[in-house]
Structure 1
Amino acid sequence: MPPQSDTNLRKPEHGSDVPQFFTWEEIGLRSGKGSSKQERWLVIHRKVYDVSQFHLRHPGGPRVINHYAGQDATDAFTAFHKNEDLVRKYLSSLQIGQLAPDQRSCEPHKNEMLVKDFRELHSTVKKMGLMKPSYGFFLFMFMHAFLLDVAAWVTIWYFGKSWVPFLVGMALFTVGQIQYGFLQHDLGHVSVFQNTKWNRISHFIVIGILKGGPPSQWNHMHNQHHAKPNCFRKDPDLNMHPFLFSLGKALSVELGKKKMKYMPYQYQHSYFAFFAPTTFVIAVQLLIFRFTIQRKKWLELAFILIYMIRVCLMYVPIMGFKSFMAFYWIARFLESAWFLWVSQMSHIPMNIDYDQNLDWVSTQLAATCNVDQSLFNDWYTGHLNFQIEHHLFPTMPRHNYWKAAPLVKSLCAKHGIQYQCKPLLTAFADILRSLKKSGQYWQEAYLHG
């Protein structure tokens, strides 16, 4: 008879040589809301780990590992860790047992064949060398961003601060910053260098001195997004729901039935283009300082201040403080708008709901879609037009996404999973269409629910 309560569960004997076997139900109960001890168990390659204390020391942040409590974390573990053998050494002390022989390798409600096929696909892309970076490609991406950054300053220095050089310089500065942003994204995903350490060091420098942001905050937020995309209360990118926007049918109906109204959501498609980047610029600046000070990330804070001093010393002497403030904050607004449209075109139109504990492939495909490939689209989006491949293989260098795409399409076709790909302008329009539809769901539930 399966256990019915937390008190009936078998307790692991850490000092025993006898292997402990557990069922999925036991693991779920240990990690669920009904557990009296706030335990966190998860499964990786059929081995059961107790991360109740370790999650606080997890390099990827405590929340990302919490999001898989009571679940199979095998594919997430493989996706995030470039050197699995090294990480397993640290995991060994956390192992408390393994799945019982009669238990499936994934939870009973998941498609075991899809899980098996994806793990074979992951092995295939590694054997094909698609996880190996091209240093020449990333050197080019850095140099072109650096030259844009320099060209922005040279334009103002040489031509002055009249309207034409002001606008040209601001455009160059904005493009340089967004391209730095895409590069730090690559470094954060440890996809630029084979060695994880070099990725971490370079990420620290690029996001700090060239972008003015803290790497630990990016890791904390972005790892959660990749672990559970479009899952409310697990994906930080959904924190704008419900305070600014009502997202997805299920959450919008729930919000409406509760008679909650922070904003006029029926008009959110109209105010997204201006309100979203404006709020994003302000929120990011405030959160950066709050995060670094609260968590005592003093070196990261120092790098952020170095960035601010750097741009002030570059521009204030040649254009004055007031002109620089206009130059800088307009550029930040444009950069934020660029980033939001690119990042949200693949997520807002997709399914948004609470975590359904789907398998890795289904989780990522339900929350992401692609945009057509072209040289411009690749450059303009930082290759995030291949959002599906990026989410399935987050450590894959972006120049290899197009090579993995046909393999992913075949996997989706075999298992009847929709693989969405659309033109760039259609993807942008779908953001507004989705916001409008979600606003209508909210209004209907608010008025009649």
Structure 2
Amino acid sequence: MCQQEVRRVERKGSAFSTDPPSPTSVTKSSKERIVSWGELSLHNTVEDSWIAIKGRVYDVTNFAKFHPGGDILFTASGLDATDVFAGFHNLTDAWKLLPPLLVGTLEDANNPPLPNVDPQYVQDIVEMRKQISALKLYDSSKLYYAYKIASNVALCSLSVAIVMYSGSWPAIAIAAFIMALFWQQCGWLAHDFLHHQVFNRRYINNLFGLLIGNIFQGFSVGWWKTKHNHHHAVPNVTDAPSGGDPDIATTPILFWSEKLIEGELEDLPLWMLRNQAVLYVPILCFARISWLVQSIQHNIPKPNPNITSKVMYYSEIATLFVHHSLFFALVVKVGMMYSVPKALSYMMMSHAWGGILLGVVFAVGHNAMDVLTLEEMREVDFIRLQVRTTRNVDPNWFTDWLCGGLNYQVEHHIFPSVPRHHLWKLARILRAFCDKHNISYTSKTLADGNKDVCQILQDVSKAA
């Protein structure tokens, strides 16, 4: 499920700061329906979808067309969605949408039929959320984000200044790399705003998302949200009622697990599969161009008006047009000042580095971690799913900056509304929780993480 498009009543604290009472304190009507875990699990398809949130069961089958995240809510069909709801709905008003969908009360809600999940484990999650709220880790520093915007603009200005000052090949190459850094850093910054980490009001975050994501970086806000929120719900999961993780749906270009190889091998481009570890970096050189194209394609069909307003739709088109117009004008200017080959080189190198700089960070976050089928996903709780499929990058001043806070990928996946400048504090809390419950927590250097990524590509190639 995703961040709801409803008014935020209270930013401080967790999604459960003023939520309905726990199932143990609810006074049940004598006629209120009791739903067993077994019955809940039967309603696990797009055509028949029930989910449980904090001890209450809801029928969301017909709600997807009104849900701001669309059919992403079907990823939790037949499951307890309490933790994923809390992660994606840091809005107390989201609860107001649920009563009309109520089916009944979940029987023995604090004791789900999952390995290593008992009432104490559930209570520890509640206590962890209370601790995060008490420490005010959901509160953002506006000064910090003002600095991040200014420093990003400085990168763009530096790239333009260099290429305007000198037309030498080294200057062209350096300017292109800095422009790629600008795009990469804008990606992380737009990510923060679009997870609604910064401001209390959704529309302000979206406005900054349009500025930083669409105009500065060139990636569609709507395209990114649809893809990224789905990834958050089912990380490294091959399939789900509304589709698996789009971030590993890179076949037939890249295969991240043997579980993704379907059908007869002769139907696949075997030369690519067998050489994918070698082709990985060259493929990343074209990744940014692919994402630019996907951003445009996403906005060609008219959106569902229940999910995307006309204002947002036309704002997307206008801001993407501004991005491409500005960069095209810059490339033309370089060509007029120096030569067409130098202009094209600046354009191609900046796009190539743009793909590499994004890829080496987000690939480390999940690739070469466990890949699960839908059946395997249903056997783990939300926190174990996120920790099992996610890798952190060991923190230092450089990785904190280069990765845009996503070196704390585990913490971000479980608490996506916590601003990046608080993630180091959150990491201490989550690690203590994982240690207590014997949950394996992975963190490696950026270099070692990328080695693992290349190794898994090679291993899958050999297995095929």
Q: Which bin holds the TM-score, normalised by the shorter protein?
A: 0.7 to 0.9
Superimposed CA distance per residue, residues 59-87 of structure 1 (whole angstroms, 9 cap, x where no aligned partner)? 1232x20100111110000001111x211
Counterpart in 2 of 1:50? 59
2: CA distance, partners of 1:385 / 1:223: 18
Counterpart in 2 of 1:307? 323
1: CA distance, partners of 2:148 / 2:122: 35
2: CA distance, partners of 1:352 / 1:51: 27
Counterpart in 2 of 1:7? none
The equivalent position to 1:142 in structure 2, one of 149, 155, 171, is 149
Q: Is the 8 A contact 2:186 2:212 kept in 1?
A: yes
Q: Secondary structure at the match of 2:275?
A: helix
The equivalent position to 1:238 in structure 2, one of 248, 263, 279, is 248
Q: In structure 2, list runs of 5 or more residues that go unmatched.
A: 1-28, 304-312
C-alpha change, 1:308 and 1:106, in structure 2 (3 Å) is farther
1:185-200 residue pairs with structure 2 within 5 A?
185-200=191-206
Counterpart in 1 of 2:349? 330
Deviation at 1:197, TM superposition (A): 2.8
- Whether 1:108 and 2:124 are equivalent positions in the alignment is no
Deviates more, 1:126-135 or 1:255-264: 255-264
Superimposed CA distance per residue, residues 320-374 of structure 1 (whole angstroms, 9 cap, x where no aligned partner)? 3654333123211111111111101121110012132221110001111111111
Q: Is the 8 A contact 1:130 1:396 kept in 2?
A: yes
TM-score (normalizing by structure 2): 0.84
2: CA distance, partners of 1:22 / 1:258: 45
Deviation at 1:47, TM superposition (A): 0.9
Number of residues of Structure 1 aligned to a counterpart in Structure 2:
414
Q: Secondary structure at the match of 1:42?
A: strand
Q: Secondary structure at the match of 2:212?
A: helix
Q: Is the 8 A contact 1:292 1:298 kept in 2?
A: no
2: CA distance, partners of 1:413 / 1:325: 52
Counterpart in 1 of 2:308? none
C-alpha change, 1:123 and 1:336, in structure 2 (3 Å) is same
Counterpart in 2 of 1:420? 442
Query: What percent identity do the matched residue pairs reach?
Result: 25
Q: In structure 1, list runs of 5 or more residues that go unmatched.
A: 1-15, 444-449
1: CA distance, partners of 2:247 / 2:82: 23
Deviation at 1:185, TM superposition (A): 0.8
Superimposed CA distance per residue, residues 211-250 of structure 1 (whole angstroms, 9 cap, x where no aligned partner)? 1221111110000111110001321101103x1222224x
Question: Considering only aligned residues, what root-mean-square deviation do their CA atoms show, in Å?
Answer: 2.1
1:363-442 residue pairs with structure 2 within 5 A?
363-441=385-463
Q: Is the 8 A contact 1:292 1:300 kept in 2?
A: yes
The equivalent position to 1:24 in structure 2, one of 37, 41, 46, is 37
Q: Secondary structure at the match of 2:105?
A: strand
Deviates more, 1:109-118 or 1:163-172: 109-118
The equivalent position to 1:81 in structure 2, one of 64, 89, 93, is 89
2: CA distance, partners of 1:325 / 1:78: 47
Deviation at 1:107, TM superposition (A): 3.2
Deviation at 1:171, TM superposition (A): 1.9
Counterpart amino acid of residue 71 in structure 1: L
Q: Is the 8 A contact 1:232 1:352 kept in 2?
A: yes
Superimposed CA distance per residue, residues 145-201 of structure 1 (whole angstroms, 9 cap, x where no aligned partner)? 101111111122222x22122122212211111111110011111112233332122
Counterpart in 1 of 2:360? 341
The equivalent position to 2:211 in structure 1, one of 205, 214, 222, is 205
1: CA distance, partners of 2:456 / 2:405: 23
2: CA distance, partners of 1:169 / 1:247: 33
Deviates more, 1:424-433 or 1:352-361: 352-361
